Amino acid sequence: MVDLREVSFTTVAKTCEVLGGELEELLEKLVDIKTSVALVPRAMKPHVEKSDFKYQVRDYHYEVEPTAPPNKYEVKRKFDHMAEIIEATVEYRMHGTVHEDQWNAGVHFPVLKMVAESKMTREVFSIKSVEIEPSIFLYAPAQPTAEEVGNTSIDFGVVLKPSGELQKSIKTGGRVDKNRNNGVVEANTANPTYYELLRQNPIFVPVETMPIDGDYADGKLQLVKWSKAIIGKLRSMKDSAVEERASKMTEKPTEEEAEKMTRKAAEEGDEKASGNGSTPTENPTQDDTQESKSYSSGLPVCVGILIQAERWEVMFLKMHDDGKWTLVSGVDIGGTLQFVDFCKLLKCLDLIYESREGAFFDFYMALGQILAV
């Protein structure tokens, strides 16, 4: 693994190439004003007050804090730090590991959205998402308001990180699902009580739900808010799928379909008249419609949690009208994968009180009732 403490300034140059020069241009401006800087990620807003020390890279805003004395090396150091954070995220995406100091520094810089959307990143990470909706990177204040959550477009990947208990055990050499060979948590760690839910985002880059000061009550409050947003998204999908299905059911059959129905009904009538004792079925198209309605409604089906080292991702499958299943918002990261019961995890997180086996709608109803959405 790359030692993030030895990342050179050339990393910034490479990053500038990926991002189309935005960071390089920003760096030149900072050097021109001859000030050392501190880059502060700002919440994404439609309108941001501008000043001499604020610059905009696409829609991602950084507040530049002037300090004295002016120091060009300090500017370089700050951008090295940003590059280290990007490198840390790449390492986390590729290997499920990240240096503790870089994690604490904040892997959630909005610039990661630009990195994730680049062609190179998509090729490196082998993103297999079948459906990619126009989503924004969920960088938000510590406690997002209901309006902010409601207006946020959300995918279906939910990323988890080790809880404080598990992190402590790893650091002290504890035996919490530890691999005896290398001291690393096994990829098939299946005890959900050792994991915490992170904010959901479309590119599977973790953004901590728990605040830095470790206020567990505040973290649970955020978790409920983000869960409401996810359920709201699922409900909108459910409504659209039901409407689409209803419109298909009201469509008139084509001439070819009508001819087939007439021919089949005539054949069944002939069989009944021949006295073979068989009872003709009811309207076959009605049965076909019911079966199709049950299994190809277009709703996502939760199939479990994808586990890779210290990274878990909730996965969904979707069945289309042609009977084919596709993976929704999944990432192929290689290695040994294991699926665990999603409802059991939610139960451990106090989001549901009772889990039923095998049904997405059971999870949907239970979680919906508790969150009162």
Rounded CA separation 333/335 (Å): 7
Q: 86 lies in which domain range?
A: 1-125
User: Which among 312, 300, 372 has a CA at the least distance from the CA of 337?
Assistant: 312
Residues 203 and 312 in one domain: yes
The domain boundary residue, chosen from 227, 261, 294: 294
* Residue range 160-187, pLDDT digits in tens: 344 444 444 434 433 333 333 343 333 3
Rounded CA separation 92/125 (Å): 11
Residues 63 and 188 in one domain: no
Rounded CA separation 116/124 (Å): 10
Q: What is the CA radius of gyration of the chain?
A: 26
DSSP per-residue codes, 309-320: TTEEEEEEEEE-
Rounded CA separation 222/236 (Å): 21
Residues 207 and 337 in one domain: yes
Q: Which sign, positive or negative, has the C-alpha torsion 186, 192, 197, 200? A: positive
Rounded CA separation 302/214 (Å): 30
* Residue range 315-341, pLDDT digits in tens: 444 445 554 444 443 332 222 223 333
In the β-sheet with 54-57, what is the strand arrangement from edge to edge? 39-41, 60-64, 54-57
Rounded CA separation 200/209 (Å): 9
The domain boundary residue, chosen from 294, 329, 352: 294
Rounded CA separation 286/18 (Å): 55
* Residue range 200-245, pLDDT digits in tens: 222 222 223 333 444 444 433 443 344 444 444 444 544 555 566 5
Residues 32 and 173 in one domain: no
Omega before 144 within 30 of 0, i.e. cis:
no
pLDDT at 282 over 50: no
- Residue percentage of the chain with pLDDT more than 70: 2
Rounded CA separation 122/150 (Å): 28
SS3 state at 312: strand
CB-based contact 353:369 (threshold 8 Å): no
Residues 147 and 8 in one domain: no
Residues 243 and 257 in one domain: no
CB-based contact 355:341 (threshold 8 Å): yes
What pLDDT is recorded for position 248?
Answer: 62
Region of 277 please: left (phi>0), alpha (psi -120 to 50) or beta: left
What is the crossing angle of helices 284-295 and 255-273, to 10°? Answer: 120
Residues 189 and 316 in one domain: yes
Residues 231 and 371 in one domain: yes
What pLDDT is recorded for position 249?
Answer: 60
Residues 104 and 131 in one domain: no
* Residue range 15-74, pLDDT digits in tens: 434 433 444 444 444 333 323 223 333 332 223 333 322 332 222 333 333 343 334 454
Residues 329 and 354 in one domain: yes
User: Does a structural domain hold residue 114?
Assistant: yes
The domain boundary residue, chosen from 78, 99, 125: 125
